[in-house]
Amino acid sequence: MRIAATALLVLAASTGPASTRPPDQPDYRKIEKHFSGDQTVIGETIRYPKGGPVNIQSLTVTLGPGETTGWHKHGVPAYGYILAGDLTIDYGEKGKRVYRAGEAFMDAIDWWHNGSNDTGKPVRILVVFMGAKGLSPVIRKGAPAQTSK
Residue 98 falls inside a structural domain: yes
Buried b (16+ CB within 10 A) or exposed e, 32-65: eeeeeeeebbbebeeeebeeeeebeeeeeeebee
**Domain CATH code at residue 65:** 2.60.120.10
106-119 tens-digit pLDDT: 999 999 999 999 99
Question: How many domains does the chain divide into?
Answer: 1
Residue 1 falls inside a structural domain: no
116-133 tens-digit pLDDT: 999 999 999 999 999 988
Domain span at 70: 33-140
CB atoms within 10 A of CB 140: 15
Residue 48 falls inside a structural domain: yes
10-19 tens-digit pLDDT: 334 444 445 5
